[in-house]
A and B are shown apart, each in its own frame.
Chain A
Amino acid sequence: MQNKSNKLPQERNHLSGVEINHKVNLIENGLIDIPMLQLLDEHGKETNPKATPDIAEGLANKILTSMEYTRLLDERMIGSQRQGRISFYLACKGEEAAIVGSAAALSDDDMIMSQYREQGALVFRGYKTEQFMNQMFSNQLDPNKGRQMPIHYGDKALNFMTISSPLGTQIPQASGYAYGQKMAGKEAITICYFGEGAASEGDFHAGLNMAAVLNCPAIFFCRNNGYAISTPTEEQFAGDGIASRGIGYGVRTIRVDGNDVLAVFAATKLAREIALKEACPVLIEAMTYRLAAHSTSDDPSGYRSKDEEAKWQQKDPIERFKKWLDGKKWLNEPALEAYKSNAREEILAALKKAEQVPVNPLEDIIEDVYDTPPWHLKKQLSELQQHVAKYPQHYPKTSGR
């Protein structure tokens, strides 16, 4: 019962293309099947060699070392948190392919707006070990001036937006940032990472709808890792993951195996091309699993089984990629081991150095609240300085400066 031919012009989006039927019929979940793109199976075998993305050996190696480095950094910093050297840490373990694979498909000019578990993207962009450490030790060499909890990185030079803890806020912001890039005629897009939990926030819905309506060249990259702290996806949503929502908003959508670097890379590459060429958003849902605890404040044994973890351990994205590399004779084990032991040493050395660097001087406490401190902040600073001078031993981080 096509009604398309005689649709009225004023109906436009309201009724355009709507078919008419004559049966009371509720549409159910599952009407549209959203498959998951997998190009490498769990044994590292190409599932469809024709679709394997074109990745040169150099890039493949960079992807591998970025994933390995991310994991080494995570291991060391979880240890440091246990030793009481830093207050907090949050690991990417298990999701390295989703992050590094997508970051590798971007251009350096593309803006990255992340949630907090995407350190792999920074690694890929070339963030230095000492930069990670300065942020985590909140010292005066951290460009965010020691104001944020560990792992809330931000680096203007690398087009990596400073992370904000309130979940989901970066999603509509990414739409706005991407719109600005388009209006300024930039050959660049914005990628916005978020968890499947954060996608329940109102900001997700606002952000996707605005990006679709306003034609924003943005990639919305959801890491569906099964949990939001203790909350499993069954208690997070009843629909078909996050991908089904993209369709509802008129956003082109793809679901990928998040533990398969090749699938993630291929999907993100295509998404970027389309976003730029057609000035539109694309939603990617990467199916993955958080192998680590939510953060160092969390103990997953209270909400999931060891069996479940072991099952996902089998799908380790790094191992899978290594098998593929091996098949291509691109895997040089001794060189990789040398890289890793070197990275371990570098991380430890940088850590020891960063923890010795003092925090920002006291004057910085009133900086960046406004472009320049207004009178009342100057007054409060001067009172604080007098107070610290009177009780120097009580404020050891700043009194000696």
Chain B
Amino acid sequence: MAKMNLLQAINSALISSMEQDERVMVFGEDVGHFGGVFRATSNLQEKFGKGRCFNTPLTEQGIIGFANGLAAQGSVPIAEIQFGDYIFPAFDQIVNETAKWRYRSGGQFSCGTLTIRTPYGGGIAGGHYHSQSPEAFFAHIPGMKVVIPRNPYQAKGLLLSSVRDDNPVLFMEPKKIYRASVGEVPETDYELLLGKADVVKEGTDITLLAWGAQVEVVEKAAMMAEKDSISCEIIDLQSILPWDVETVCESVYKTNRLLINHEAPLTGGFASEIAATIQQECFLYLEAPIARVCGLDTPYPLAHEKEYMPDHLKTYEAIKRTLDY
């Protein structure tokens, strides 16, 4: 075990996968010699050479198109998009190519080996072009997997699984806690199951569901609620697509209440999908409407960032409303 922050854990996972499989290649804007603008790819070029870790020209469309071809050839690309906000020039390549390659070729070819890493989320005074949480767009693409870790331990294990999973995975990293989130991480290779949620804390009165940096936020709200003798169960969804309906249902059978928190705007956010499924599966168990504490239906603001955020206070208020229903 070693103490690592989230970035170091990602770096460690990248090293592990590159050591273990020489088909793995890491590339993107500034990821080479410089090690990426957040330093997630530090030392990879030195260790593995320019052929396996390299800078690309500044074109997201090109990066993912190239990665798709490389994956179809049988290599194992790990492509970085510098900010989640800049993934959209590659949207066509992801939606129509990455995700459909296997399907359109009847399984002859695929981009299954591809992993796309990208930092996402707010809380860094980044305004609307350095703060977005676009997971719901990608959760609407059959053929993709979408994974989001909340801390260094999860990050390393989930990234290693994402790289080895035989489906294309979009791995979204909560950049707000890149350095702030520190924890014990095994230096050895390990994997965490994709498609599996993690019960962070058990409780009996309400289930709080979040992912990425928002897990900390709901933990803080839960601490406030505990003072009012409300016992919260906290689940980190971890995999957005496909997501772990079973774990969430098991929890709701027990607590009879569900609150979902995400930073992305409310309308069409992934909480909508979860709420629809849970009311279908757990209708007779629910004692209150499923609560959603999300970003506003506006672009991500700058001066009003604090007001926009689905923070612990908004979550705490929603917990109380749900219990008082």
- Residues of chain A touching chain B, judged by Cβ–Cβ distance below 8 Å, are 87-88, 138-139, 145-149, 152, 164-168, 197-198, 200-203, 228-231, 235-237, 297-298, 302-303, 359-360, 362, 364-366, 369, 376-377, 380, 384, 387-388, 390-391, 394-395, 397-398
Chain A's nearest CB lies how many Å from the CB of B49?
15
CB-based contact A377/B297 at 8 Å: yes
Taking the complex as formed, is B102 at the interface, i.e. its CB lies under 8 A from any CB of chain A? no
CB-based contact A380/B307 at 8 Å: no
CB-based contact B307/A230 at 8 Å: no
Cβ proximity bits B278-302 to A, threshold 8 Å, 1 near / 0 not? 0000000000000000001111011
Taking the complex as formed, is B196 at the interface, i.e. its CB lies under 8 A from any CB of chain A? no
Taking the complex as formed, is B86 at the interface, i.e. its CB lies under 8 A from any CB of chain A? yes
Given contacts A237-B57, A380-B296, contact A362 B304 (CB under 8 A): yes
CB-based contact B307/A388 at 8 Å: yes
Given contacts A197-B58, A201-B58, contact A394 B313 (CB under 8 A): yes
CB contacts (< 8 Å) of A198 on chain B: these are 58
CB contacts (< 8 Å) of B29 on chain A: these are 228-229, 231
Bound CA–CA A200/B32 (angstroms): 17
CB-based contact B62/A202 at 8 Å: yes
Pick the residue among A149, A168, A236, A387 that contacts B125 (CB under 8 A).
Answer: A149
Q: What are 19 inter-chain pairs, A to B, with CB distance below 8 A?
A: A138-B302, A146-B301, A147-B299, A147-B301, A147-B302, A148-B127, A148-B129, A149-B125, A164-B129, A230-B33, A298-B37, A303-B33, A359-B303, A359-B304, A362-B304, A387-B317, A388-B307, A397-B303, A397-B304
Given contacts A138-B302, A377-B296, A394-B313, contact A147 B61 (CB under 8 A): no
Bound CA–CA A146/B307 (angstroms): 14
Bound CA–CA A201/B128 (angstroms): 20
Pick the residue among A148, A201, A229, A391 that contacts B302 (CB under 8 A).
Answer: A148
Pick the residue among A147, A297, A388 that contacts B303 (CB under 8 A).
Answer: A147
CB-based contact B125/A365 at 8 Å: no
Given contacts A166-B88, A303-B33, A365-B298, contact A149 B303 (CB under 8 A): no
CB contacts (< 8 Å) of A235 on chain B: these are 32, 54-55, 57
Given contacts A303-B33, A359-B303, A397-B303, contact A387 B314 (CB under 8 A): yes
Chain A's nearest CB lies how many Å from the CB of B25?
15
List 11 extra interface pairs beyond A166-B89, A398-B307, CB under 8 A. A138-B303, A146-B304, A147-B127, A147-B302, A165-B129, A166-B86, A198-B58, A201-B58, A201-B59, A231-B29, A377-B297
Pick the residue among B62, B296, B303, B314 that contacts A360 (CB under 8 A).
Answer: B303
CB-based contact B307/A231 at 8 Å: no
Cβ proximity bits B115-147 to A, threshold 8 Å, 1 near / 0 not? 000000000011111100000000000000000
**Smallest Cβ-Cβ distance to A234: which chain B residue:** B55
Taking the complex as formed, is B34 at the interface, i.e. its CB lies under 8 A from any CB of chain A? yes
**Smallest Cβ-Cβ distance to A139: which chain B residue:** B303
Given contacts A138-B302, A231-B30, contact A200 B297 (CB under 8 A): no
Chain B's nearest CB lies how many Å from the CB of A246?
18
CB-based contact A365/B85 at 8 Å: no
**Smallest Cβ-Cβ distance to A294: which chain B residue:** B37
Bound CA–CA A228/B32 (angstroms): 13
Taking the complex as formed, is B48 at the interface, i.e. its CB lies under 8 A from any CB of chain A? no
CB contacts (< 8 Å) of A228 on chain B: these are 29-30, 58
CB contacts (< 8 Å) of A365 on chain B: these are 296, 298, 301, 304, 307-308
Taking the complex as formed, is B3 at the interface, i.e. its CB lies under 8 A from any CB of chain A? no
**Smallest Cβ-Cβ distance to A86: which chain B residue:** B125
CB contacts (< 8 Å) of B299 on chain A: these are 147, 369
Interface residues on B, range: 35 or more
Closest 10 pairs between A and B when the two form their complex, measured CB to CB: A146-B303, A230-B34, A165-B129, A200-B57, A359-B303, A197-B58, A87-B125, A200-B58, A138-B303, A149-B127
**Smallest Cβ-Cβ distance to B131: which chain A residue:** A149
CB contacts (< 8 Å) of B313 on chain A: these are 387, 391, 394
Interface centre among B35, B85, B313 (most CB of A within 10 A): B313
Chain B's nearest CB lies how many Å from the CB of A363?
10
CB-based contact B297/A376 at 8 Å: yes
CB-based contact A297/B37 at 8 Å: yes
CB-based contact B297/A369 at 8 Å: yes
Cβ proximity bits B15-51 to A, threshold 8 Å, 1 near / 0 not? 0000000000000011011110100000000000000
CB contacts (< 8 Å) of B308 on chain A: these are 365
Chain A's nearest CB lies how many Å from the CB of B309?
10
CB contacts (< 8 Å) of A394 on chain B: these are 306, 311, 313
Chain A's nearest CB lies how many Å from the CB of B134?
13
Bound CA–CA A139/B302 (angstroms): 10
Taking the complex as formed, is B266 at the interface, i.e. its CB lies under 8 A from any CB of chain A? yes
CB contacts (< 8 Å) of A145 on chain B: these are 303
**Smallest Cβ-Cβ distance to A367: which chain B residue:** B298
CB contacts (< 8 Å) of A148 on chain B: these are 127-129, 302
CB contacts (< 8 Å) of B277 on chain A: these are none
Bound CA–CA A310/B317 (angstroms): 58
Given contacts A166-B129, A377-B296, contact A200 B304 (CB under 8 A): no
CB contacts (< 8 Å) of A376 on chain B: these are 267, 297
Chain B's nearest CB lies how many Å from the CB of A170?
13
CB-based contact B57/A230 at 8 Å: no
Interface centre among B86, B266, B298 (most CB of A within 10 A): B298
CB-based contact B58/A236 at 8 Å: yes
Interface centre among B32, B34, B299 (most CB of A within 10 A): B34
Interface centre among B55, B314, B317 (most CB of A within 10 A): B55
Pick the residue among B34, B129, B302 that contacts A146 (CB under 8 A).
Answer: B302
Chain B's nearest CB lies how many Å from the CB of A81?
11
Given contacts A138-B303, A166-B129, A387-B314, contact A202 B296 (CB under 8 A): no
